[in-house]
Structure 1
Amino acid sequence: MTDRTNGSLRVNGATLHYEVRGQGPLLLLIPGGTGGAASFDGIAADLATEYTVATYDPRGMSRSTLDDPDAEQQVAEHSDDAFRMLELLSPGEPAQVFGASSGAIVALHLLTAHPERIARVVAHEPPAVEVLPDAAEHRALLTRVQDTFRTQGLMPAMAVFSAGLKKDGAAAEPKAELKLPPQAAARAEQTMANLPYFVGRIVPGFMSYAPDIHRLEGLSDRLVLAGGQDSRGELPYRSAAFLAERLGTELQHFPGGHIGLTTHPAESGELLRKVLHTGGPTSLL
């Protein structure tokens, strides 16, 4: 088992908890949603046989504390946190970066802000809905989510949010009960503890973010956009697919849905390794 080193990094307005495994070129894993460093436990050890794998709890999540718990959250500040991690762990050397969901939005901003520090970014389903032709509809969704959170509370707001992420016009399909790996199931309590901050601060700050598409066009050779095989048509998948088409690149498909790295860790880790090696879409076949 690969040894893990924990540390803390002081950044503007927060103290970040981070974890490092392995040796080799730096691979920074940026979690999304309510996940923290632990959300990559299923893939980090295997990748650490080849990379120095670093991940962290985003500011305000889990063990990364905010100086001001009520501070508004901005993508640019979270991106600067990721940049500080690169400066700490890979000074002067370009790094590989993987971001999931809201972490993928951070990774996109990091690429445009500090391209000299990035060898490659793999962005899995960034919910950058401002790039979509029907962005106004999704702005209205965000308003409904925040209004519901304020007037009815957390779980009704989550219900509105989840319904808005589903496939366009599709009735909710019955799904088999999702069985999470034991490590992921054990994190459920922390995930729930992070939900109010996620809904109240991350969702409005991140889903209103518009990536610099013109800048990304000039950096597209270092960017792989990805989506889940099982989340085709859902809102974060649509954003990733639209960006890939706009940039003239091929969308990489990972196993599972939006949280495929949690539900299919072995297959996802293997595919991520292949993508990092080839620099573009590939498959497990």
Structure 2
Amino acid sequence: MGALQGTIEADGARLYYETRGEGPPVLIIQGGMGEAGATEQLADELARDNQVISYDRRGLSRSTDGGAVPITMARHADDAALVLSAATTQPARVIGASIGALIGLHLAVRHTDRVSMLVAHEPPMASLVLDHEREAELDKVAAAATVDVRAAIGHMASLTGGGQDSVQEGARSGPLVGDIDENLRWFFAQDFPAVRRSALSADEIVAAANTTTVIATGGVESRGGWEYRCAQKLARRLDHDLVEMPGGHNSLVSHPWALAVELKRLFMETGPDER
């Protein structure tokens, strides 16, 4: 399914976004250094019944950085709100994984009127689960990134189970558009420390959940992992059971069709207007 492309100005940056399909709006916020097209298989499946929106985060691939550094999760959330405003007038269902889940949570707190429902898949939140051993490993990742960004991303992937999860037959990431080394340098200079600096609290999320449906999810293949435990803790604070999804931390790419089935089920259970 072809995507319609657009750009929007955002505090000095120019953000690239794309849309597929028609219907209720659904925003996908990528994990890692994922570009708008990284989850195109999931987007195509959801676009059968929805308008699916995705974008390149500030500083990655087709989106410029605008010189607004250091990057914060709040800045990313404001960017996501601007993308939604450019693509739709309706509140959107938002699906975010990893850093995308954390951005989605900041979005739900800062721009509650733009989000009707948020599926937060394994958000990395030390404010929820502080693991000192993991923090020490992340310090090593940060040090490695000053010398070799590819080695750093390899170490980081090993911490999240990257490359160890199963892959649904036929599943793949969309074709890479940007320069991987430039994206890695930006990610480790800006997004990686921004995630670690985020102090978003469970209380803020619970307050937002009074008007916006927030669902914490974890991959069945991630059980016991730190991000999975973050999702578990968030689910408890939101007073619901953790919803398990096919695959692991990277299920938006590794299990697009199986995940779409589960997402559509959640959409139906929460109704056309969750609020």
- With the length of structure 1 as denominator, give the TM-score of the two structures: 0.84
Q: Which structure's relative contact order is higher, taking Cα pairs within 8 Å and 6+ residues apart?
A: 2
**CA–CA separation in structure 1 for the residues paired with 2:6 and 2:177:** 23
2:123·2:227 contact (CA, 8 Å) conserved in 1? yes
* Cα distance change on mapping 1:264 and 1:160 into 2, 3 Å: closer
- Percent identity between matched residues is 32
Shift of 1:131: 1.3
1:122 aligns with 2:113: no
1:129·1:235 contact (CA, 8 Å) conserved in 2? no
Shift of 1:147: 1.9
Deviations 1:121-148 (A, max 9, x none): 01111111221143x4444333322222
User: 1:231 — aligned with what?
Assistant: 222
1:4·1:20 contact (CA, 8 Å) conserved in 2? yes
* Cα distance change on mapping 1:193 and 1:269 into 2, 3 Å: farther
**CA–CA separation in structure 1 for the residues paired with 2:50 and 2:7:** 20
Of 161, 168, 188 in structure 1, the residue corresponding to residue 156 of structure 2 is 161
SS at match of 2:8: strand
* Cα distance change on mapping 1:255 and 1:182 into 2, 3 Å: closer
* Cα distance change on mapping 1:10 and 1:104 into 2, 3 Å: same
User: 2:34 — aligned with what?
Assistant: 35
User: 2:73 — aligned with what?
Assistant: 75
- With the length of structure 2 as denominator, give the TM-score of the two structures: 0.87
1:181·1:262 contact (CA, 8 Å) conserved in 2? no
Q: Which runs of 5+ in 1 are unaligned?
A: 167-171, 281-285
User: 1:169 — aligned with what?
Assistant: none
User: 1:146 — aligned with what?
Assistant: 142
User: 2:263 — aligned with what?
Assistant: 272
SS at match of 1:250: coil
Shift of 1:257: 0.9
The residue correspondences of 1:176-255 to structure 2 (distance < 5 A) are: 181=170, 183-184=172-173, 186-187=175-176, 191=180, 193-220=182-209, 222-255=213-246
Tell me the C-alpha RMSD between the 2 structures.
2.7
1:229·1:255 contact (CA, 8 Å) conserved in 2? yes
User: 1:102 — aligned with what?
Assistant: 99
Shift of 1:59: 0.7
**CA–CA separation in structure 2 for the residues paired with 1:180 and 1:270:** 15
Shift of 1:165: 3.8
Shift of 1:159: 4.0
**CA–CA separation in structure 2 for the residues paired with 1:188 and 1:234:** 30
Q: Which runs of 5+ in 2 are unaligned?
A: none
Shift of 1:190: 5.1
* Cα distance change on mapping 1:186 and 1:11 into 2, 3 Å: closer
Aligned amino acid, residue 56 of structure 2 = D
**CA–CA separation in structure 2 for the residues paired with 1:225 and 1:56:** 22
SS at match of 1:50: coil
* Cα distance change on mapping 1:65 and 1:27 into 2, 3 Å: same
**CA–CA separation in structure 2 for the residues paired with 1:249 and 1:203:** 29
Q: Size of the alignment, in residue pairs?
A: 269
